[in-house]
Structure 1
Amino acid sequence: MPPLAPFEEAAGFTRAIRVGDRIIVSGNVGVEEDGSVSSDAGRQADRCFEQILAYIEQLGGYSGDVVRVRMFVTDMADADAVTAAFTRAVGHARPAATLVAISALYDVQWKCEIEAEAVIGSLQ
């Protein structure tokens, strides 16, 4: 399991966990390594997928193992940009996917939150 971030410790959850051949990655937002947040929803989604795929790789999987993705956007006008990031990151694996609009995320700068599931060895 990847090391826990301070928020994970305080809240009592795990960002990513492997159970047998399954990897479950909880919601990620597009915060850059330096703590900044792009105003571009597509960049935020790309960053979400960068984090998700890094967790999956740390736990022994790779992008082709992704079988399900859930994407939450605060403005449906950003749906195409978020979908494009999905396609770049995991479209080759053709996972089941959901994209829904929600009223808000914890920080008003965040335009999307994305979670994923992978099954090791699922890509044929």
Structure 2
Amino acid sequence: MTATNKLQSIIPPAFQAWHDAYHFTPATRVGDTIWVSGQVGADAEGNIGADVQAQTRIAFESLKYVLEAAGASLDDVVELTTFHTDLHGEMEAFTAVKDEYFPSRYPSWTGVGVTQLALPELRVEVRAVAVAGSGKG
């Protein structure tokens, strides 16, 4: 195994407390592939967005932040998996925000309806797989 293929835990500064308290690693990188753990609609201070659109924005901003810490960008995302507590009722609002972050090159995407997330107020969770450098050109 070469040095570039070693497993790297990506823990940006804003996630250090979560890592320490809950043993949560925001992303793992092996070679050019990056697996990003689920990002929710709560900011680094624990403030939860008021509605699904606000929570979706927070989740995608967190995704962007974690990818940048891992040496990638949203352009490098090849797969999204999203979890929704009201899949049918909030999909239109969610998609409108998602399309702000992925306006033309859409990654593979699976949306899953769930009964609950980590906190009762959370409406959406976003996880992703990226390949660093794949979105260039």
Residue 79 in structure 1 maps to residue 84 in structure 2: no
Distance 1:92 1:47 in 2: 20
Distance 1:30 1:40 in 2: 9
Deviation at 1:47, TM superposition (A): 0.6
Contact 1:24-1:118 within 8 A present in 2 as well? yes
Residue 35 in structure 1 maps to residue 35 in structure 2: no
Q: Of the two, which has the highest radius of gyration?
A: 2
Gaps of 5+ in 1: none
Contact 1:26-1:115 within 8 A present in 2 as well? yes
Residue 53 in structure 1 maps to residue 53 in structure 2: no
Residue 23 in structure 1 maps to residue 23 in structure 2: no
What's the counterpart of residue 89 of structure 1?
A: 101
Residue 112 in structure 1 maps to residue 124 in structure 2: yes
For 1:78, give the aligned amino acid.
Answer: E
What's the TM-score once normalised by structure 1's chain length?
0.89
Distance 1:17 1:93 in 2: 23
Distance 1:74 1:67 in 2: 24
Gaps of 5+ in 2: 1-9
The percent identity for this pair of structures is 34
For 2:63, give the aligned amino acid.
Answer: I
Residue of structure 2 aligned with 1:62, choices 39, 48, 73: 73
Give the 4+ runs in structure 1 shifted more than 6 A. none
Distance 2:44 2:20 in 1: 19
Contact 1:67-1:93 within 8 A present in 2 as well? no
What's the counterpart of residue 112 of structure 2?
A: 100
